[in-house]
Structure 1
Amino acid sequence: MDWDLGQLRALAAAVDLGTLDAAARTLHVTPSAVSQRIKALEQQTGAVLLHRDRPVHPTPAGEPLVRLARQVDALTADATRHLVAARTPRVTLAVNGDSLTTWVLPALAPLAADVAIEIVREDQDVTAELLRDGRAMAAVTTQARPVQGCTAEPLGTMRYRPLATPAFVDRWFAAGVDDASLAAAPVVVFDADDRLQDRWLRARGVDPAVPLRHLVPASADFATAVRLGWGWGMLPAQQSGDDEAAGRLVPLAGDDGIDVPLHWQQWSLRTAALDAVADHVRTAARGALT
């Protein structure tokens, strides 16, 4: 099937900006022209591609075409970079906060002068969704099965253990770590998508809704809240090693924890910039993950 690039860009702009009027301003055409291009694309595919709410959003049939439009733009930018030296390639990467803080940012530092890298921070269990709708070109994710139009490969495992300050343990777990003490002790949670603490509590027969919960949605600040004694939280060794060595944090239950396998997924449509990002991520993961 032959695709009209103007129609694809109109669809993607409407989804990105939320309205046909905003898409028209960005594309320097009239709202009527945007609407006509999307309707023509719908006639070609024989499917409704947009839910015309406010904001508009793609139907299941529209999602792969939005992704296609973004892939075409990425390939165009990559080709232009070889023709016009001033054009910098861009890679949008979805990555979980802990990986971002501990090993991904250092891994990508050598590319900072040559590639415009846009980081989208999301929980590792949901980063693949950004690939699915085309908002990310690559992702560090727990999902091993490739998203349609992507490749996937294992990176390694991050191990999370429940940690707290010695003073916190003395106050809340003086009689030991059991269902009663876990139900009473405050817990620090990253955000609404963070399931690690919930999984660890459920494995011990504790309803995660019972303990007092603190939401701290930034990886470094999450660790700081645990160090300050707000509550206990699941931290990876990459983030807690120095604190444990210094005695500032101690595990609640020895080496008992949760292993989180991470995978690298990226568009099958490759660009030189995306390949460079992938190579640096793979190399760093070999040194940072188990």
Structure 2
Amino acid sequence: MSDLPLDQVRTLLAVVDEQSFDRAAAVLHVTPPAVSQRVKALEQRIGRVLVLRSKPVRLTDSGEVLVRFARQLTRLEADTRAELGLGGPGEPTTLPIAVNADSLATWFLPALQAVPAEPPISFDLRSDDEGYTDSLLREGLVMAAITATPHPVQGCSVRRLGTMRYRAVASAAFASRWLDGPLAERLPAAPTVLFDRKDDLQDGFLRRLTRRRLPTRIRHYIPASVSFADAVAAGLGWGMVPELQLAGRNLVELAPERPMDVALYWQQWKLDSPPLAAVADAVAAAARRELGG
């Protein structure tokens, strides 16, 4: 890819990061037509469509390959400039990282606080279910991810962080109203709180409990980790809450002998990047403390 015009490659990366041609133009200090022309010229050079002009924009398979290259290139360039002392004073490195919502709400931010102040880093966090964050790595949208996938994405390394434990809980009033009787019989009829439609923890718990596939009838979707736990505490339904979020909430454990454990992994691109290595070390240290990694 040495013959690819780097200004066009960087322009494509800006379009993907900003999710629009107009915002990419503002970041690059050029006009939107100039951004469109650069991307079109790059597509003509490669002979393939790289990005779908939707809202937000979407990469094609060829676009994903090129964006991975572009991100690696810009990261290596920034690290090289820093080592040579050619960067501006205090010029930060931007690291896009995918994190599942429960980690973000509990142990992950303290991990970032432990990252050394030098070299300066700008964190660009993307939140998604841990079962899906690896796709953001594959698409080149992030450089590292907290994921439930132990198999490394192509071009990435992987290390186990530990286990996030979840407990089936509800408020005392909710349990008294809905769960007065054998749990396996009563729970499928009780209202359930779920994070979003990717969230399979509650249904997985029911399958283990009843040995049948019994989706609940009343399902509330609360797509924010802290608000999810608050909704369960408020009696909106029962749910699987991280053990790390139980302190200070008046919740009743429905099946103390049946926790659900989700193994978490850190995947990152195989780059010799000091900022990325510093973040990886801080995340691994925090995981050892909080997740038993």
TM over 0.5: yes
* Aligned with 1:231 (options 233, 237, 243): 237
Question: SS of the residue aligned with 2:107?
Answer: helix
Provide the residue aligned with 1:116 in structure 2: 122
Stretch of structure 1 that moved more, 194-203 or 76-85: 76-85
Q: In 1, distance between residues paired with 2:174 and 2:40? A: 61
Does the CA-based 8 Å contact 1:163-1:252 persist in structure 2?
yes
Q: In 1, distance between residues paired with 2:76 and 2:171? A: 49
Label 1:277 to 1:33 Cα distance change in 2 as closer, same or farther (>3 A): same
Provide the residue aligned with 1:207 in structure 2: 214
The offset of 1:163, in angstroms, is 0.9
Label 1:193 to 1:223 Cα distance change in 2 as closer, same or farther (>3 A): same
Q: In 2, distance between residues paired with 1:217 and 1:19? A: 25
Q: In 1, distance between residues paired with 2:279 and 2:112? A: 7
Question: SS of the residue aligned with 1:229?
Answer: coil
Stretch of structure 1 that moved more, 228-237 or 8-17: 8-17
Q: In 2, distance between residues paired with 1:72 and 1:94? A: 20
Deviation track 1:218-269 (CA, whole Å, cap 9, x = no partner) reads: 21221122122221110122222554xxxx2222123213221111001112
Stretch of structure 1 that moved more, 228-237 or 274-283: 228-237
The offset of 1:9, in angstroms, is 1.4
Provide the residue aligned with 2:108 in structure 1: 104
TM-score by length of 1: 0.87
Q: What are structure 2's unaligned runs of at least 5 residues?
A: none
Does the CA-based 8 Å contact 2:116-2:278 persist in structure 1?
no
Question: SS of the residue aligned with 2:183?
Answer: coil
Provide the residue aligned with 2:46 in structure 1: 45
Q: In 1, distance between residues paired with 2:279 and 2:20? A: 33
The offset of 1:283, in angstroms, is 0.8
Stretch of structure 1 that moved more, 29-38 or 5-14: 29-38
After superposition, residues 128-147 of structure 1 pair within 5 angstroms as 128-147=134-153
Structure 2 counterpart of 1:233, which letter? Answer: G
Provide the residue aligned with 1:93 in structure 2: 97
Q: Does structure 1 residue 62 correspond to structure 2 residue 63?
A: yes
Provide the residue aligned with 1:268 in structure 2: 270
Provide the residue aligned with 1:251 in structure 2: 253
Label 1:53 to 1:230 Cα distance change in 2 as closer, same or farther (>3 A): closer
Structure 1 counterpart of 2:58, which letter? Answer: H
Does the CA-based 8 Å contact 1:156-1:286 persist in structure 2?
yes
The offset of 1:30, in angstroms, is 5.3
Q: In 1, distance between residues paired with 2:112 and 2:224? A: 20
* Aligned-residue CA RMSD (Å): 2.4
Structure 2 counterpart of 1:121, which letter? Answer: S
Q: Does structure 1 residue 283 correspond to structure 2 residue 285?
A: yes
Structure 1 counterpart of 2:174, which letter? Answer: F
Provide the residue aligned with 1:14 in structure 2: 15
Does the CA-based 8 Å contact 1:81-1:88 persist in structure 2?
no
Q: In 2, distance between residues paired with 1:154 and 1:283? A: 12
Provide the residue aligned with 2:179 in structure 1: 173
* Aligned with 1:190 (options 187, 192, 195): 195
Does the CA-based 8 Å contact 2:21-2:35 persist in structure 1?
yes
Q: What is the percentage of aligned positions where both structures have the same residue?
A: 48
Stretch of structure 1 that moved more, 23-32 or 56-65: 23-32
Label 1:53 to 1:25 Cα distance change in 2 as closer, same or farther (>3 A): same
The offset of 1:57, in angstroms, is 2.1
Does the CA-based 8 Å contact 1:188-1:222 persist in structure 2?
yes
TM-score by length of 2: 0.86
Does the CA-based 8 Å contact 1:159-1:258 persist in structure 2?
yes
Q: In 2, distance between residues paired with 1:236 and 1:20? A: 39
* Aligned with 1:220 (options 223, 226, 229): 226
Stretch of structure 1 that moved more, 74-83 or 134-143: 74-83
Deviation track 1:87-122 (CA, whole Å, cap 9, x = no partner) reads: 022222211121122211112212374322222222
Label 1:5 to 1:161 Cα distance change in 2 as closer, same or farther (>3 A): same
Question: SS of the residue aligned with 2:66?
Answer: helix
Q: In 1, distance between residues paired with 2:220 and 2:205? A: 16
Q: In 2, distance between residues paired with 1:99 and 1:19? A: 29
Label 1:274 to 1:37 Cα distance change in 2 as closer, same or farther (>3 A): same
Structure 2 counterpart of 1:85, which letter? Answer: P
